[in-house]
Amino acid sequence: MGGFFLTKPEREKLDNMKVAVVGATGLVGTKMLQVLEERDFPVTELIPVASERSVGKEVTFKGKQYKIVGMQTAIDLKPAVALFSAGGGTSTEWAPAFAAAGITVIDNSSAWRMDPTKKLVVPEINADDLTAEDKIIANPNCSTIQMVVALAPLHKKYKSKRIVVSTYQSVTGTGVKAVTQLMNERNGIEGEMAYKYPIDLNVIPQIDVFLDNGYTKEEMKMVLETKKIMRDDSIRVTSTTVRIPVMGGHSESVNIEFEEEFELDEVKRILADAPGIIVVDDPATQQYPMPMDAHEKDEVFVGRIRRDETQPKTLNMWIVSDNLRKGAATNAVQIAEYLLASELI
């Protein structure tokens, strides 16, 4: 786009930027509305979409009320882009219908992430893969996004060989039901359980279902998505994902073995200069990233940067990010921003 000197087609495009948010009443859908408003995405008409039981209810966006509609109504209204956060089943069923109508879908579920015909995008890393023909674009898993944002600039310089990651993930990653369970337990209230076990004063080393190899789906998402986003199948990744009783965001302990040697000062400089990263790393004053500091922020925070003293060319980092924002809603909106700026929608 041309700043203040927009061409006539560009002006018309901005005058007709209808945006659908599918799953608008969920935790991530609500955050998508918030992020669209905060980042001043040029929405001319919002089309909030939710399940049939929510149709007719209203959501607020930029001080205006918008009625929730069903899927087919949303398609008939012909938005330019649809941000999906309504689960894999809904995405599998409806994303192709939106795409067939010429609507660009940015999907937050796991439905399309490993489909070889679909792009899996973190804008700081691989948005340049996108074309106008990409009508279903996958938003990666939240824990993968924050790790690869920190990994990508270092991989470019030193080439990653092997990654060992352990996650400490917020209950907000499960949804409203899990947040309610945590707060009920904290207040001594009996209620519906999102998890098999109590989460308050506890740690649950299982996120999603177990697979035949003993890993969970969440763990294998991190393995497979990292390779796809980084465009490098040679990177070896092993993951343990854990749910903890916090709300502000996900944390990760990441150990990276590189092919090339590095200097710590250079690592910190590369991270500090990379887009979307804030380095918080001063052991002398006990400065390091925490979920409470990342909450409601879009950046990925990196600290505890130090050598692994057990083997050469290996680095330890602590990575924290708000999983509802950069891990989901913000990344999706940033993809839409890139598509708009590149005239792909």
Residue type for position 101: A
Residues 235, 148 contacting (CB under 8 angstroms): no
Bridge partners of 18? 45
C-alpha span between 83 and 150 (Å, rounded) = 25
Q: Which residues pair with 83 in a beta bridge?
A: 21, 106
Catalytic residues: 142, 250
Q: DSSP letters of 47-89?
A: EEE--GGGTT-EEEETTEEEE-B-HHHHHHT--SEEEE-S-HH
DSSP class per residue in 7-44: -HHHHHHHHT-EEEEETTTSHHHHHHHHHHHHTT---S
Q: Provide the H-helix boundaries in the chain.
A: 8-15, 27-38, 71-76, 88-100, 123-126, 142-158, 176-186, 217-230, 264-273, 291-294, 330-341
Give the full edge-to-edge strand order of the sheet including 18-22: 45-49, 18-22, 81-84, 104-107, 136-138, 119-120
Beta strand 250-258 pairing with 314-321: antiparallel
**How distant is the alpha carbon of residue 313 from its chain centre?**
29
